[in-house]
Structure 1
Amino acid sequence: MNALPARLAIVDDDQDHAAYLAQYLQPRGVAVTAYHDSDEFLTSPQAFEFDFYVIDLMLPGVDGVDLIRLVRRRGPAGIVVVSGRMDTDVFESVMRAGADMHLMKPVRMEQVALAIEAVHRRIEAGRTQAGAWRLDRKARQLIAPEGTRIDLSENDQAVVECFVAAQGATVTHATLCERLGRDPAAEADNLLHAAIYRLRRRIERATPAGVPLHAEPRVGYSFRGSLTAT
């Protein structure tokens, strides 16, 4: 189990603090992307594809607490709040919004890293113990760990079959395009992204389980979780 997440987003308008944290984490194997306001973050194509988020509360644009709610709705990624906001109810607000931990500025970088490691360890342990997803080919349904059956379109099923065959490995853009009957050399990335987006939304609407589809930048997509087919 990795001690720290592979990809992490910092959303903080304090550019010095974000830069120091990135410099502390990157030598430890974490790919860090910093956003300096919530609008910049939300308009990024990869906004909801990170393994972990470190979020400030006093942000230009969407308020930090609302931003936490948006991130949490998209899945079980780790969220640590690092903020100087002094409201009496700030801790309760961020925890109810979906944060995993709250740290008050000023804070040492090693303390933030320890908080990230603790939350990430718990999430990874939970993934290991979670039930498997299953593709019911005959019914054309994806079955979530808690038993919810999600109806799939023909294209959805073709995509899920790719993840079944990959057994946890990343499925390339070319492989997905070929399975969908499209020419990888001519296919625009946004059409493939749209197909993955529709599948993600189908899962989100059907079950509270975290969506296991994750983009691997410039490579393809992976299914993070046990997936079998019958």
Structure 2
Amino acid sequence: MPSRVLIVDDEPSILATMAPLLRSRGYEVSTAVSGKACLESVERVEPDLIILDLGLPDLDGVDVCRLLRDGRSTPIIVLSARGAEADKVSALDAGADDYVTKPFGTEELLARIRVALRRVESTPASTGPIVCGDLVIDRDRHTVSRGEEKIRLTPKEFDLLVLLAQHPGRVLTHRAILKAIWGPRAVDEPEHLRVLLGSLRKKIELDPSRPRYIVTEPWVGYRFADLG
């Protein structure tokens, strides 16, 4: 059964380009040109993925993203001409899974779509091992190994690794990570995260200066690599 994709954008040229492209790749495509139409379409179509523009005529896309996240886990890829760091962080903090800036390359967008859909299909259970390449994270036993090598992590390092690994391919903002690991009072203390992330990379990466597993999204956050 083809995956259902909802494109939400008020630019006719974007819809005229993207809808045929996705249909040619085997996706079932629906479109909406406003925030209200998006919310109505989600109830009617039940899409597997939403591609959302921020500059909608009736509602701000960030607000639409928050509304979509209310009780739903459908992947959301923001596609917007707003390329400022603050806009990216706002959208990701509101629940977007990814952010692509216009103008965009079609192959890049298609790759992001595949990653988002694959993540849904392979979402791990709340317990049990997470496998990424040769890295195995056993949440039941609180152990990590890379190939035959056992890696010893502190409790906080393990929590950070699990948090990132549970969302492969998705950007998690600095604030979201700080809140999850240290609580809401730590969201304005990014040095905690930099130190912990640096320590974790030294243990799990073969070359911490060229990380394979935990990728930095400059000024925004971190993305755990989807090596599936």
TM-score scaled by length of structure 1:
0.51
- Displacement over 6 Å in runs of 4+: none
Give the secondary-structure state (helix, strand or coil) at the position aligned to 1:32: strand
CA 1:77–1:44 in structure 2 vs 1: closer, same or farther (change >3 Å)? closer
Aligned equivalent of 2:107: 110
Could you list the per-position Cα deviations for residues 40-90 of structure 1 after superposition, in whole angstroms to 9, with x for gaps in the alignment? Answer: 222347357111000000101111001111112232111101100144401
Distance in 2 between residues matched to 1:8 and 1:43, nearest whole Å: 14
- Structure 2: segments with no counterpart, 5+ residues: 128-228
Aligned equivalent of 2:199: none
The match for 1:57 among 54, 57, 60 is 54
Asked whether the equivalents of residues 32 and 41 of structure 2 are also in contact (C-alpha less than 8 Å), the reply is no
The match for 1:11 among 5, 8, 11 is 8
Aligned equivalent of 1:130: 125
Aligned equivalent of 2:174: none
Aligned equivalent of 2:24: 27
Asked whether the equivalents of residues 55 and 80 of structure 1 are also in contact (C-alpha less than 8 Å), the reply is yes
TM-score scaled by length of structure 2:
0.51
Distance in 2 between residues matched to 1:75 and 1:44, nearest whole Å: 14
1:72-221 correspondence to structure 2 within 5 Å: 72-126=69-123, 129-130=124-125
Identity of aligned residues (%): 35
Asked whether the equivalents of residues 11 and 55 of structure 1 are also in contact (C-alpha less than 8 Å), the reply is yes
Give the secondary-structure state (helix, strand or coil) at the position aligned to 1:65: helix
Give the secondary-structure state (helix, strand or coil) at the position aligned to 2:99: strand
Distance in 1 between residues matched to 2:52 and 2:28, nearest whole Å: 16
Give the secondary-structure state (helix, strand or coil) at the position aligned to 2:100: strand
Amino acid in the other structure paired with 2:125: A
Q: Which has the higher contact order (CA 8 A, sep 6+)?
A: 1
Matched, 1:67 2:64: yes
Distance in 2 between residues matched to 1:28 and 1:86, nearest whole Å: 27
Distance in 2 between residues matched to 1:110 and 1:75, nearest whole Å: 27
Distance in 2 between residues matched to 1:45 and 1:64, nearest whole Å: 15
RMSD over aligned CA atoms reads 2.2
- 1:27 Cα shift? 1.8
Amino acid in the other structure paired with 1:104: T
